[in-house]
Amino acid sequence: MTSTTVDDVTENARPAFRVTTGRERGYHRVAVDTFLASARETFELGLDDLSAADVRVASFPLVKEGYVVGDVDAALGRIEDAFAARERDQIVREQGAEAWVVKVRAEAQVILDHLARGRRHKFARSGLLGFGYRVDEVDHVAARIVRYLRDGDELTVEQLRSAAFRMQRHGYREEQVDAILDATIDVILAVR
C-alpha cells in the first residue's frame, strides 16, 4: 500500500485554475488551494478568522507550473468582495445603517485629509539612496482617488488592485502608498 501526499493529490486532480507553462511562473498550487479551502470554510461557517483585508494581502510563492497569477487574483478579488459584503451586513445588522455610513465617511475623510498634502509630498520618501514608488505615478492615482471620494468620479476596485508603480530613487515609501490604496478599496467595497 502506498501513501498519498497533498502534492500527489494536487498533481492528479484537475487544477482549479489554468497552469503556467514553459518559463512562466505562477502561484504555488498547493498554497493557493489551501488558502481557498480555508477561506471557503471560514465564509460558509460564518467565522471571523479571515477578513476582506486578509484576502487582499494574501500572497503565494511563484513557481514553475503554478496557477496563472491573473486567474487567481481575479478569484481573490471576488472572495474579497464577498467578505467585505458580509462585514458590512454584520455591522448594519448590529449597529444600524447610520453607524455604517458614519464609519465609511470617517474612513473616506481620513484618506482625503492625507491626500490633501501638496503635490510630490503626499507620502514619506525612501532614503536618498533607497528606492520607492515613482512619485508622479502615485500622485496621478492619488488625484483619481480624490476625484472619486470628493466628486464621485468613476473608480473601481479592480483599477486600484491592478495599480502598479515603477520604482525610483527617493520615491514614496511603498507601505504608506499601499495602505492608502487598501483603505480606498475598503471604502469602495463598503458603498457597493
- What pTM, to 2 d.p., does this model score? 0.75
pLDDT over threshold 80, residue 11: no
Phi, psi for 25 (deg, rounded to 5): -105, 150
Nearest to 30 by CA among 38, 41, 40: 38
Q: What is the pLDDT of residue 119?
A: 87
Nearest to 30 by CA among 4, 5, 3: 5
Q: Which residue has the cell 470554510?
A: 41
- Per-residue pLDDT of 132-145, as tens digits, reads 999 999 999 999 99
**Helix (H) and strand (E) counts for the chain?**
8, 4
Burial grade of 45 (CB within 10 A; 0-12, 13-18, 19 or more): exposed
- Per-residue pLDDT of 38-84, as tens digits, reads 999 999 999 888 999 899 889 999 999 999 999 999 999 999 999 99
pLDDT band at 12 (very low <50, low <70, confident <90, very high): low
Distance of CA 150 to the CA centre of its chain: 22
Distance of CA 92 to the CA centre of its chain: 23
Select the more confidently predicted residue: 22 or 13: 22
- Helix boundaries (H) for 46-123: 52-56, 69-95, 97-115
